[in-house]
């Protein structure tokens, strides 16, 4: 068992605590395996009535997946180890989504990428004043995976499309407003909440409600009408044109933000959300996202985006294709196409 995930039981609750503070608890393959194994064990343990998912010390709940590892795979083993990571990470996402016992995720701090993937499938999702939620993948040539297509496409008002394309960060109040969190608690109340849940796992809803406070105003609510208008289309070119035809400061800022993102993965994300919205089985969504991940991992934009944003920190990625017009429907079709039968994603 890796020390990067602390797994124990308190009272009638299983407790998974991410423990990789120097990396803001970003997920490794070993961490995914450790969490899956613990969940499988507790599924058959009658003494465990609920599961608490949180992080040990530090600012992050979970900042994402192991990006350096994925880039290394893309550059050095043709994406083989990266695909293995995605495959098993997505199994964990699906395991949480279909888990029979209630899971309470405490999104106290940075909750991005892989952190979204392990918190959103949980029945209870607790935000605090420290929560910073985002799916920033288009900025590094990836796409909002780990079930992002499913969750973002179901927010309504095109908020999900806005988050997927721009990588905008939401605070805890905004997460509650958008339905990405079920409760908003002050961080100082979390220890009490966890202790009470461990003692009374059949009263989770009541305990969280009793400790909830009224959050500050959700800033994104003020822009909801603009988002619904400008991000209405599933065509990326239409969205860009809509923002360009608006001379407001807000539209200019969002247009500039999109100018830094990978055109390929912005188009992938729009198609991903449109397809996800039609699905009624989360496993089908994960199968689709694994197909996309298998292809996008080894396309030029991912290694280049990670270089520019994370490794060299120059912020000057050279995207290929360089323009939205250069991303053809044929390229998108090839990214979404089924894999050979023996390579398709399967649930645990």
* 327: DSSP letter: S
Instruction: Give the tens place of pLDDT for each residue, 149-180.
Output: 999 999 999 999 999 999 999 999 999 999 99
Nearest to 105 by CA among 125, 123, 121: 125
Catalytic annotation on 315?
no
Instruction: Give the tens place of pLDDT for each residue, 31-51.
Output: 999 999 999 999 999 999 999
- Say how far apart CA 269 and CA 161 lie, in whole Å: 8
Catalytic annotation on 137?
yes
What's the whole-model pTM score?
A: 0.97
* Active-site residue, selected from the candidate residues 145, 174, 254, 275: 145
- Say how far apart CA 301 and CA 324 lie, in whole Å: 13
The DSSP line for 158-186 is THHHHHHHH---EEHHHHHHHTS-SEE--
How crowded is residue 330: how many other Cβ atoms within 10 Å of its Cβ? 8
Q: What is the pLDDT of residue 2?
A: 72
- Report the helix count and the strand count for the chain, using DSSP H and E: 16, 10
CA distances from 19 to 24, 53, 172 (A): 9, 11, 22
- Say how far apart CA 230 and CA 233 lie, in whole Å: 8
Instruction: Give the tens place of pLDDT for each residue, 83-127.
Output: 999 999 999 999 999 999 999 999 999 999 999 999 999 999 999
Catalytic annotation on 249?
no
Q: What is the pLDDT of residue 1?
A: 55
* Active-site residue, selected from the candidate residues 65, 115, 139, 147: 65
> Which residues of the chain are under the pLDDT cut of 70?
1
Domain ranges of the chain: 5-343
* Active-site residue, selected from the candidate residues 137, 171, 174, 304: 137
Query: What CATH number belongs to 5-343?
Result: 3.90.226.10
Catalytic annotation on 78?
no
* Active-site residue, selected from the candidate residues 14, 79, 114, 172: 114
């Amino acid at each position: 068992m890796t020390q990067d995930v602390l797994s124990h039981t308190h009272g009638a609750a299983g407790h998974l605590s991410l423990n990789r503070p120097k990396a803001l608890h970003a997920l490794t393959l070993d961490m995914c395996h450790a969490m899956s194994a613990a969940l499988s064990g507790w599924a058959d343990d009658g003494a465990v009535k609920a599961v608490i998912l949180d992080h040990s010390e530090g600012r992050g709940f979970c900042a994402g997946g192991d990006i350096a590892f994925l880039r290394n795979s893309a550059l050095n083993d043709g994406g083989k180890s990266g695909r293995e990571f995605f495959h098993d990470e997505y199994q964990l996402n699906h395991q949480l989504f279909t888990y029979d016992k209630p899971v309470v995720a405490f999104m106290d701090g940075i909750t991005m990428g892989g952190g979204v993937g392990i918190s959103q499938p949980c029945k209870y999702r607790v935000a605090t004043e420290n929560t910073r939620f985002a799916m920033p993948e288009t900025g590094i040539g990836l796409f909002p995976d780990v079930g992002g297509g499913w969750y973002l496409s179901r927010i309504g008002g095109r908020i999900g499309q806005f988050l997927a394309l721009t990588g905008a960060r939401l605070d805890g109040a905004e997460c509650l407003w958008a339905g990405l969190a079920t409760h908003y608690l002050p961080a100082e109340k979390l220890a009490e909440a966890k202790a009470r849940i461990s003692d009374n796992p059949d009263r989770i809803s009541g305990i969280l409600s009793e400790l909830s406070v009224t959050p500050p105003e959700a800033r994104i609510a003020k822009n909801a009408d603009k988002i619904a208008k400008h991000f209405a289309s599933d065509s990326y070119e239409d969205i860009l044109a809509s923002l360009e035809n608006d001379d407001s400061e807000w539209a200019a800022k969002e247009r500039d933000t999109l100018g830094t993102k990978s055109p390929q993965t912005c188009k992938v994300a729009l198609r991903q959300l449109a397809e996800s919205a039609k699905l009624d089985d989360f496993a089908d969504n994960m199968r689709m996202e694994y197909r996309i991940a298998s292809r996008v991992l080894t396309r030029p934009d991912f290694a280049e985006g990670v270089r520019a944003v994370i490794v060299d920190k120059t912020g000057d990625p050279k995207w290929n294709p360089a323009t939205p017009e250069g991303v053809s429907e044929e390229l998108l079709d090839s990214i979404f196409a089924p894999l050979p039968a023996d390579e398709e994603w399967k649930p645990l």
